[in-house]
Amino acid sequence: MRALIYQGPRDVAVRDVPDARIERPTDVLVRITSTNICGSDLHMYEGRTSVEQGTVLGHENLGEVVGVGRAVDRVKVGDMVCLPFNVACGFCRNCERGFTGYCLTVNPGFAGGAYGYADMGPYSGGQAELLRVPYGDVNCLRLPPDAREKENDYVMLSDIWPTGYHATELAGVSTGDSVVVYGAGPVGLMAAYSAMLCGASKVMVVDRQPDRLALADKIGAIPVDDGLGDPVEQVLDQTGGEGADKGCECVGWQAHDPDGNERPNQTMNNLIRSVRATGALGVVGVFVPQDPQSPDSLMRDGEVALDLGLFFQKGLRMGSGQADVKRYNRQLRDLIAADRAQPSFLVSHNLGLDDAPDAYRHFDNREDGWTKVVLNP
């Protein structure tokens, strides 16, 4: 089959690789029809991780079931399914409690499993023609009959919409809250969109990329351009000097200061300063190394400067981590099915698999108009 593989920093290519196939009785085989490029792929692309050469990337996948193992009974050949990026068993202590992002069976002791990702288990990615889905009954979200016509919407259920939603859940966003979101990438836009759906009274989105800020504006949020001045001051101005009730971090390692210097701590401390005393923060931007035990991990350690003094003084609360996609994806799917939500508003490109290496380059450069790429193998 054709697949996009990682060859080295900023070097990916489409190659012929052995077909994905059913390996265990609980596996499902999916012919991929939509697979996204994610900001999380850029941690590998830019060489921050220990991902192996030859790994097939791609964890935001949707397609048609073309094979099922003999122990699979819920999912059928012909079903259109979206695949939550977390590979989970469904029966370990964490999965039982809904923390499928931290499955103890597929990746014991650390951050759960994922397709095509560094240090998150041996699972090949879906930027390919076929994908093997382990524990298929657990890891396939079946889609309604309108799956084909709303594919650009449903594929966002694999990661970024539940992740953006998770940020608002971690921060405890509720009706009438004012919310500040750092980062207007796909995840930040999905957090802002979720906050709007949850009834926030005011949502502010901080970034400096005009095209992304324009999308924030389009969904009814207030764009805050940190190229025009201190974003914290702008958020305080918008909130009568008090700060936002809740805040979401949707940038992670990629954080830059207004001069373009890489500063991973920038957004956390801005967030602490932007949220009012006793407020709460949801942190979904990726800061942590995927495998602190791995001696050859190239990912820098997860330490960032954090103004814990101010965090404490303001009595803030915080939640963080990988999104437990399954926890949210049925409800979010049903909003799409009911025409109450269209997360596809951020899709900028639908391209073929052969276009993937170019698309990685454009998306990595954050080029104007390259917000979210969906590959259609």
Instruction: For residue 184, state whether it binds ligand NAD (rule: CB under 6 A).
Output: yes
Query: Under a CB-based contact definition with an 8 Å cutoff, are residues 198 and 174 in contact?
Result: yes
State which of residues 3, 4, 5, 38 lies at the interface with Zn ion (CB under 5 A): 38
Instruction: For residue 252, state whether it binds ligand NAD (rule: CB under 6 A).
Output: yes
Separation of alpha carbons 328 and 312, rounded Å: 30
Separation of alpha carbons 297 and 180, rounded Å: 33
Query: Under a CB-based contact definition with an 8 Å cutoff, are residues 156 and 341 in contact?
Result: no
Region binding ligand NAD by CB under 6 A among candidate stretches 14-22, 91-99, 144-152, 249-257:
249-257
Region binding ligand NAD by CB under 6 A among candidate stretches 7-15, 88-96, 181-189, 299-307:
181-189
Region binding Zn ion by CB under 5 A among candidate stretches 31-39, 102-110, 205-213, 238-246:
31-39
Region binding Zn ion by CB under 5 A among candidate stretches 124-132, 159-167, 303-311, 363-371:
159-167
CA distance to 192, 219, 228, 260, 347, per residue, from 209 (Å): 16, 16, 11, 12, 16
Region binding ligand NAD by CB under 6 A among candidate stretches 20-28, 179-187, 194-202, 238-246:
179-187
User: According to DSSP H, which parts of 136-244 are helical?
Assistant: 136-139, 151-154, 160-171, 186-197, 210-218, 231-238
Which 51-70 residues touch Zn ion, going by CB under 5 A?
A: 60
Shortest reach from residue 24's CB to ligand NAD, in Å: 26
* Angle (CA) 320 115 366, round 5°: 70
Instruction: For residue 186, state whether it binds ligand NAD (rule: CB under 6 A).
Output: yes
Instruction: For residue 156, state whether it binds ligand NAD (rule: CB under 6 A).
Output: no
User: According to DSSP H, which parts of 198-307 are helical?
Assistant: 210-218, 231-238, 266-274
State which of residues 105, 178, 290, 322 lies at the interface with ligand NAD (CB under 6 A): 322
Shortest reach from residue 191's CB to Zn ion, in Å: 14
Instruction: Give me the 15-54 binding string for ligand NAD, x by CB under 6 A, dash otherwise.
Output: -----------------------xxx-xx-----------
CA–chain centroid gap for 271, Å, is: 19
Instruction: Give me the 192-231 binding string for ligand NAD, x by CB under 6 A, dash otherwise.
Output: --------------xxxx--x-------------x-----
Instruction: For residue 125, state whether it binds ligand NAD (rule: CB under 6 A).
Output: no
Q: Which of 372, 328, 339, 329 is nearest to 149 (CA)?
A: 339
Shortest reach from residue 101's CB to ligand NAD, in Å: 7
Residue facing Zn ion at closest CB distance = 38
Cβ distance to ligand NAD smaller for residue 56 or 286: 286
Shortest reach from residue 190's CB to ligand NAD, in Å: 8
Shortest reach from residue 111's CB to Zn ion, in Å: 14
Q: Which does 212 bind (CB under 5 to 8 A by kind): Zn ion, ligand NAD, none?
A: ligand NAD
Q: Which of 215, 324, 251, 344 is nearest to 42 (CA)?
A: 251
Shortest reach from residue 254's CB to ligand NAD, in Å: 5
Separation of alpha carbons 202 and 199, rounded Å: 9
Instruction: For residue 346, state whether it binds Zn ion (rule: CB under 5 A).
Output: no
Separation of alpha carbons 295 and 50, rounded Å: 10
Cα dihedral 157, 159, 161, 165, rounded to 10, equals 120
| Token pair listed for 299 | 């990912």
Give just the sign of the alpha carbon dihedral 250, 220, 200, 266. Answer: positive
Instruction: For residue 34, state whether it binds Zn ion (rule: CB under 5 A).
Output: no
Instruction: For residue 153, state whether it binds ligand NAD (rule: CB under 6 A).
Output: no
Query: Under a CB-based contact definition with an 8 Å cutoff, are residues 356 and 332 in contact?
Result: no
CA distance to 28, 294, 355, per residue, from 6 (Å): 24, 19, 15
Give kind and range of the element (H or E) at residue 356.
helix 356-364
Binding site for ligand NAD (CB under 6 A): 38-40, 42-43, 159-160, 163, 182-188, 206-209, 212, 226, 250-256, 266-267, 284-286, 322-323, 366
Binding site for Zn ion (CB under 5 A): 38, 40, 60, 159
